[in-house]
Amino acid sequence: MIKTIGLLSRRDDWTHEQFVTHWVEVHAPLARAVPGLLRYVQNHIQGVRRRADIGETVIEIDGIAELWFADRAALEAASHSPEMEALHADGTKFIGRIKSYIVEEKTIVG
């Protein structure tokens, strides 16, 4: 299993509420059509958890997106599909900044 994790910040001219509404109502249905996508998770930021013993990384995000694929080949195939192109095109409408990672998950508990 491989997945991408994207840290998403809204466009400067959008509120957090507008961002979340578009992400859920418009963007999510587009993700359902991406070939090879096994799981799509939206993590909506509700607040910040701080620790007194560790300094904080300064970053302002509105959400974290997770896209799960069977393997790297499935991710690559999906990345070149018209459905993923449509998903990315929609993203430019409400995402102002993004930082994406390709990760392999290692479950420790659960």
Q: Considering the domain boundaries, does residue 63 fall inside one? A: yes
Domain contains 107:
no
The answer to whether residue 84 is domain-embedded is yes
**Whether pLDDT at 105 is above 90:** no
Is the pLDDT assigned to residue 26 strictly greater than 90? yes
- Tell me, what's the pLDDT at 110? 87
DSSP 3-state of 87: helix
Range of the domain at 43: 2-48+58-101
Please name which of 93, 94, 97 lies closest in space to residue 20, comparing C-alpha atoms. Answer: 94
Query: Burial of 74 by CB count in 10 Å (0-12 exposed, 13-18 middle, 19+ buried)?
Result: middle
Length, in residues, of the chain: 110
Structurally, how many domains does the chain consist of? 1
Helices (H), the chain: 16-22, 28-31, 72-79, 82-94
pTM, entire model: 0.90
